């Protein structure tokens, strides 16, 4: 069961979200309505994932996420926001959020985002992958060829990289590739070292280089 800490400054939404998660197999171990309450309550909560609204009282936007990530650098954050602009999603992920879900999304997408973040895998709303790919390609242009996984990894490593980007666990990847789990974990470590990326950047990198299906 994933332990969740919810940061949301609207009390009605906070209560509704907490109740919904509790009824669907998640353990809500803490709540906050401001940055100050996050800093006060989160450390002792035992949470696996922080569900964060970008608007918390006097703190707004990506600045909210930056302030939290700067204090808790290994934090697994799922942003739950009313902001649906592609540029905001990009900035949130660059700032360190593992997942970004719109408040207009279905509960099932939030559940998937939480479970993905808990194991260090990125997750975006349905339909967002194609928008992100187009946005990144437009921003980076010719620089997109730099550190292309297809030019750096061998075929086995590339297959593992794509499966990892899709959110598959090492155990499932091992089953799909015919390798044992220990070998897969070793290869994942080598892949991240070769591409000079962290776990939270795997999905991002796959999107940027056109290795993720765009019909998710």
Residue 59 pLDDT: 85
pTM (two decimals): 0.70
For residue 136, give Cα distances in angstroms to 84, 140, 144, 209.
16, 6, 8, 9
- CATH code for 134-208? 1.10.10.10
pLDDT at 140: 57
CB 84 within 8 A of CB 104: yes
In which band, very low, low, confident or very high, does the pLDDT at 216 lie, cut at 50, 70 and 90? very low
Question: How confident is the model at residue 54, as a pLDDT?
Answer: 92
Under a CB-based contact definition with an 8 Å cutoff, are residues 103 and 147 in contact?
no
Q: In angstroms, rounded to a whole number, what is the distance separating the alpha carbons of residues 55 and 69?
A: 15
pLDDT of residue 141: 53
Alpha carbon 175 to its chain centroid, in Å, reads 24
Average pLDDT of span 72-94: 88
- Pairing outcome for strands 3-7 and 27-32: parallel
Query: pLDDT tens digits for 99-151?
Result: 999 999 999 999 999 999 998 888 887 777 777 766 766 665 545 455 788 88
Maximum Cα–Cα distance across the chain: 52
**Rounded CA gap, 82 and 12, in Å?**
15
What is the structure's pLDDT at 60? 84
**pLDDT tens across 13-27, in order?**
999 999 999 999 999
- Domain borders along the chain are 3-126, 134-208
Q: What is the pLDDT of residue 215?
A: 47
CATH classification code of 3-126: 3.40.50.2300
Paired tokens of 205: 């990198």
């Amino acid at each position: 069961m994933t332990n969740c800490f919810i940061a949301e400054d609207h009390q009605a939404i906070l209560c509704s979200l907490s109740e919904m998660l509790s009824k669907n197999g998640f353990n809500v171990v803490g709540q906050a309505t401001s940055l100050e309450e996050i800093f006060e309550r989160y450390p002792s909560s035992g949470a696996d994932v922080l569900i964060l609204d970008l608007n918390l009282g006097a703190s707004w936007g990506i600045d909210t996420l930056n302030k939290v990530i700067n204090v808790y650098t290994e934090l697994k954050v799922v942003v739950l926001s009313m902001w649906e602009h592609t540029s905001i999603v990009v900035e949130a992920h660059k700032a360190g959020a593992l997942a970004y879900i719109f408040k207009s999304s279905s509960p099932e997408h939030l559940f998937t985002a939480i479970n993905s973040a808990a194991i260090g895998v990125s997750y975006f709303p349905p339909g967002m992958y194609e928008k992100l790919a187009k946005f990144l390609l437009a921003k980076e242009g010719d620089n997109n060829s730099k550190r292309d996984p297809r030019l750096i990894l061998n075929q086995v490593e590339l297959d593992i990289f794509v499966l990892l980007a899709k959110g598959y666990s090492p155990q499932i990847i091992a089953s799909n590739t015919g390798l044992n789990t220990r070998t897969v974990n070793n290869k994942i470590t080598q892949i991240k070292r070769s591409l000079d990326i962290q776990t939270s950047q795997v999905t991002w990198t796959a999107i940027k280089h056109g290795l993720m299906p765009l019909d998710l």
